Amino acid sequence: MNQVAQASQTAVRRPQPTDFRPIQELTIAEMLEDPRVNRAMAETAPRHLSPERLLRVMAQAIRRTPKLALCTPLSLLGAMITCASLGLEPNTPLNHAYLIPFEKRRKNEQGRWETASVEVNLILGYQGLIDLARRTGSLVSLHADVVYEGDEFEFHYGTDQRLFHRPVGDTEGRKPIYAYAYAKLSDGEAFEVLPYANVLKIRDATQAYRKAMEDKARGDKNWATSPWIAYEREMAAKTMVRRLSKWLPKSIEFATAVQMDSLAERGMIDFRAIAAQPSLAHDPDGATQAEEIEGKANEPQQQQAKPQPPTAATTAPAKTAAPPAQQLTEEDEREADRMSRAAQGDPVEQHDPETGEVQSDDWDAYVEKMLVEFNAAKKPKDRDEINTTFRDTIVGAVERKDLTEARANVLLQAWQEKTGTKSKMPTPPNGNGKK
């Protein structure tokens, strides 16, 4: 009988963590069946979104976009864990988010660019960002849209700020001229407007759009499914919501999503690292990697570190070694930082591509928005804090060489005249600042 009991116990023995192969050795099909993947989803997904539902969504996304099946399983898993942490479903009619396959390229020994791997990038959609913003509880309504030639449109900032948009008829054949986002809060309102040409500059810097243009040049019919191609109006609206986000109340999910989306659009999130350490889904900065800028790095690419697999649920997840940073010039780093701040809504200068001269900037609008906040503040302490924030922003822009000292002094003088505060530009250290 003891032998029978022992045989019975052996027959029902539950699989142990050591029975499983490392995650990075699994195919995507095997990963969908692996209980460790289900547990990773369960640890990060909110109650309304089950791991089983997310895995079904991932399988459907692969069927609709077959190239996802060619991606590294870890990058796909990391993107899905990120979706789970935000409570969003990718590649569904809800348009919450999009899983985008892209080729990661590097230089070979002959100095030519070649495909090193196919990775997954996660791009949030307009509806997804709106859904996250509404979860804050302090948001009455939020709307973003594109203004076309012929629409009735008017806006101005200041103490009597106003935004008015009345669309006129079908948009087909009419040129977009502005994009905006408007939020009605429980204690006020806020809006952001941007010329559409500036929206296109932000679009041009995104990895998904660059990949779509590369696919189009190669004759790949899937280029038209890219979010910025198939849903340009919605993506422009999302860009405006992201710019407006600094004036909105934030939940943890919304703040994480805004930061993650800005980095992911430029291909700077390593979703393989999130697969190996799911807690990084809540820490976009911890999962960043150097942006791949084709043709700008002359040094040969180093071999990337192989990510470690997630450990069993009973042990702490293993950390993955970050991929080696690509060698970027000071100008490359400054441009990447400028585009990141532009995507977040910070004022940046627009330069003529041929002469390099400043054509326009967003600083006047920034001054007006800060004046609204300053005038609305009732306590002296709050006004002092706003004044300090404004001054530090100006000084920081000069030290980053994003603003000339002359322009900074004009802005500070205008601020001083309208607020009665005393703010002046200190001498930049080590000769920083444009002359």
| Angle at 308 (CA atoms; ends 306, 310), nearest 5 degrees | 150
**Contact status, residue 331 vs residue 34, Cβ threshold 8 Å:** no
Q: To the nearest whole number, what is the mean pLDDT of the chain? A: 75
356 within some domain: yes
408 within some domain: yes
- In terms of DSSP H, where are the helices of 321-362? 330-344
334 within some domain: no
**Contact status, residue 103 vs residue 118, Cβ threshold 8 Å:** yes
313 within some domain: no
Higher-pLDDT residue of 108 and 350 is 108
Q: Tokens in use for 169?
A: 């008829």
CA 334 to chain centre: 18
**How do residues 307-364 score in pLDDT, each as one tens digit?**
444 433 333 344 334 333 334 445 544 554 554 454 444 555 555 444 455 445 567 7
Per the structure, the count of domains in the chain is: 1
214 within some domain: no
pLDDT confidence bin for 415, thresholds 50/70/90: confident
Quote the pLDDT of residue 7.
Answer: 45
Nearest C-alpha neighbor of 125 from the set 167, 93, 97, 155: 97
Q: Tokens in use for 429?
A: 């250290």
Can you tell me whether residue 144 is helix, strand or coil?
Answer: strand
Quote the pLDDT of residue 20.
Answer: 62
312 within some domain: no
CA–CA separation, 307 vs 321, rounded Å? Answer: 6
Question: Which residues are CB-neighbours of 33 under 8 A, at least 6 positions away?
Answer: none
Whether 141 has a pLDDT exceeding 80, the answer reads yes
CA–CA separation, 189 vs 263, rounded Å? Answer: 27
Domain membership of residue 357 as a residue range: 347-431
**Contact status, residue 301 vs residue 253, Cβ threshold 8 Å:** no
Backbone angles phi, psi at 87, to 5 degrees: 75, 35
Quote the pLDDT of residue 307.
Answer: 41
Quote the pLDDT of residue 391.
Answer: 80
Whether 297 has a pLDDT exceeding 60, the answer reads no
pLDDT confidence bin for 373, thresholds 50/70/90: confident
**Contact status, residue 119 vs residue 271, Cβ threshold 8 Å:** yes
256 within some domain: no
Query: Which region, left, alpha or beta, applies to residue 175 given φ > 0 means left and ψ of -120 to 50 means alpha?
Result: beta
**How do residues 5-48 score in pLDDT, each as one tens digit?**
444 444 544 554 445 677 667 777 787 777 888 777 777 777 66
**Contact status, residue 278 vs residue 43, Cβ threshold 8 Å:** yes
**Contact status, residue 271 vs residue 104, Cβ threshold 8 Å:** no
Can you tell me whether residue 347 is helix, strand or coil?
Answer: coil
Quote the pLDDT of residue 328.
Answer: 41
44 within some domain: no
Q: Tokens in use for 242?
A: 């992201």
